Amino acid sequence: MTEDKISNIVIGCAIEVHKNLGPGLLESAYQECLFYELKKNNLEVEKEKALPIIYKEVKLDHGYRLDLLVENKVVIELKTVEALNDVHTAQVLTYLKLGGYKLGLLFNFHSTLLKNNMRRFVM
């Protein structure tokens, strides 16, 4: 399945979660519900996937953790903040670079309308 097809399914699932829960919950609640929806759509999903940092010949296991990784292709980062900013963008771009992934999605569930608070990143 292509990254574009996966992202369309993910966006639909995220909207479904937000439609049912609305804003105001913790990030972990949205993560669990989105994980459930993605699994229900027969997608392979990993939660809190470790992303080590490789520095020269040294592998540092104290790297990052991806909120969700779908089909080992699409990185999903979830936020519940007043507004997305450059730090959130940098975080997703770093994950894409370190993991060698091509597509990342950033969702801010702390919003009235989720479609206005999601970003798509392509490497």
The CATH number of the domain holding residue 89 is 3.90.1570
Give residue 11's pLDDT.
98
Provide the domain limits for residue 79. 3-122
Give residue 54's pLDDT.
83
Strand blocks (E) in the chain: 45-55, 58-70, 74-79, 103-108, 118-122
Give residue 46's pLDDT.
98
Give residue 52's pLDDT.
86
How many Cα atoms sit within 13 Å of 64 on the Cβ side?
19
Q: Which residue numbers in the chain have pLDDT < 50?
A: none
Give residue 59's pLDDT.
82
Give residue 76's pLDDT.
98
Cα separations in angstroms, 21 against 5, 49, 70: 25, 25, 22
Give residue 58's pLDDT.
87
Number of helices and strands (H, E) in the chain? Answer: 3, 5
> How far apart are alpha carbons 24 and 26 in whole angstroms?
7
Give residue 35's pLDDT.
98
Angle at the Cα of 62 (from 118 to 80), degrees rounded to 5? 25
Number of domains, the chain? 1
Share of the chain above pLDDT 90, in %: 88
Q: pLDDT tens digits for 30-41?
A: 999 999 999 999
Within 8 A by CB and 6+ apart from 51, the residues are 63, 64, 65, 66, 95, 98, 99
pTM of the model: 0.93
Give residue 63's pLDDT.
73
Give residue 114's pLDDT.
95
Which amino acid type is present at position 116? N
